[in-house]
Amino acid sequence: MQLWCEPMPYGSVLIVDDMKINILVTQGLLMRYELKIDLANSGFDAIEKIESGNVYDIVFMNHMMPKMDGIEATKIIKSMGYEHPIVVLTSNAVMGQTDMLLANGFDDFIAKPIDIRKLNTVLNKFIRDKQPFLKKIRS
């Protein structure tokens, strides 16, 4: 099934994952949206990028990473005052687990393997639908 993707060249995302193949897959799925894509290979790297002043429309954070998992990284990032959405990418999207992830600071979740329809919904919610110039066009 081919899903039509609305380009969002005004949007920016950060992909955080310790596995290069996961970064490449996620990056490949996002490329059709024409987003500015930044990459981090650990929670430490993501924190450093945000401490340096980088702001993203969405941070896609892997849940399970060595040394610092996505929950810990998200808590640190949020404690720094970062208010933009952080969406967890997880293989553990079972009942109860998703509630726990949302209770730990994530703004939404996408189960792995990534469902392009869910990805599209998240991008529309946190990027497209927040654009003031698009709200005027759609009204």
- DSSP letter for 83, please: -
Pick the CATH number of 12-138 from 3.30.450.20, 3.40.50.2300, 3.30.300.30, 3.90.1150.10: 3.40.50.2300
pLDDT tier, 139 (very low <50, low <70, confident <90, very high otherwise): very low
Helices assigned H by DSSP within 84-127: 97-103, 116-126
Q: Which residue has the higher pLDDT, 21 or 92?
A: 21
Tens of pLDDT, residues 1-27: 456 788 999 999 999 999 999 999 999
- Domain positions in the chain are 12-138
pLDDT tens digits, one per residue of 37-76: 999 999 999 999 999 999 999 999 999 999 999 999 999 9
Q: What is the mean pLDDT of residues 22-34?
A: 95
How many residues are recorded in the chain? 139
Cα 52 to Cα 114: distance, rounded to the nearest angstrom: 29
Q: Is the pLDDT of residue 79 over 50?
A: yes
pLDDT band at 134, cuts 50/70/90?
Answer: low
The one-letter amino acid at 10: Y
